[in-house]
Amino acid sequence: QIKACLFDLDGVIVDTAKYHYIAWKELASNLGFEFTEEDNERLKGVSRMTSLNILLEIGGITLSDEEKHRLAEKKNENYRTFILKMQPDEILDGAKEFLQELKAKGIKIALGSASKNAMTILERLELTELFEAIIDGTKVTEAKPNPEVFLKGAEALNVDPSECVVFEDAEAGVEAALAGNMKCVGIGSPVVLGKANLVIDGLHQMTYEKLMELN
Residues placed in the known binding site for Mg(2+): 8, 10, 168-169
Residue closer to ligand G16 (CB basis): 153 or 161: 153
d(CA 201, CA 178): 20
Instruction: State the catalytic residues.
Output: 8, 10
Find the binding residues for Mg ion in span 154-173 (CB under 5 A): 169-170
136 touches Mg ion (CB under 5 A): no
Residues that bind ligand G16 (CB under 6 A): 8-11, 20, 43-48, 51, 76, 113-117, 137, 170
CA dist 57 to 21, 35, 50, 173, 201, Å? 16, 11, 11, 23, 31
When binding is defined by CB under 5 A, the residue of 7, 8, 111, 152 that contacts Mg ion is 8
User: Which does residue 3 bind out of ligand G16, Mg ion, none, counting CB within 5 to 8 angstroms by kind?
Assistant: none
User: Which does residue 161 bind out of Mg ion, ligand G16, none, counting CB within 5 to 8 angstroms by kind?
Assistant: none
User: Which does residue 171 bind out of ligand G16, Mg ion, none, counting CB within 5 to 8 angstroms by kind?
Assistant: none
**Beta-carbon contacts of residue 116 (< 8 Å; ≥ 6 apart):** 48, 76, 136, 137, 138
d(CA 27, CA 8): 26
Residue 123: what residue type?
E
**Least distance from C-beta 146 to Mg ion, angstroms?**
15
DSSP notation for 68-104 = HHHHHHHHHHHHHHHHTT--GGGB-TTHHHHHHHHHH
Find the binding residues for Mg ion in span 23-82 (CB under 5 A): 45
d(CA 130, CA 121): 13
**What does the binding site for Mg ion look like in residue numbers (CB under 5 A)?**
8, 10-11, 45, 169-170
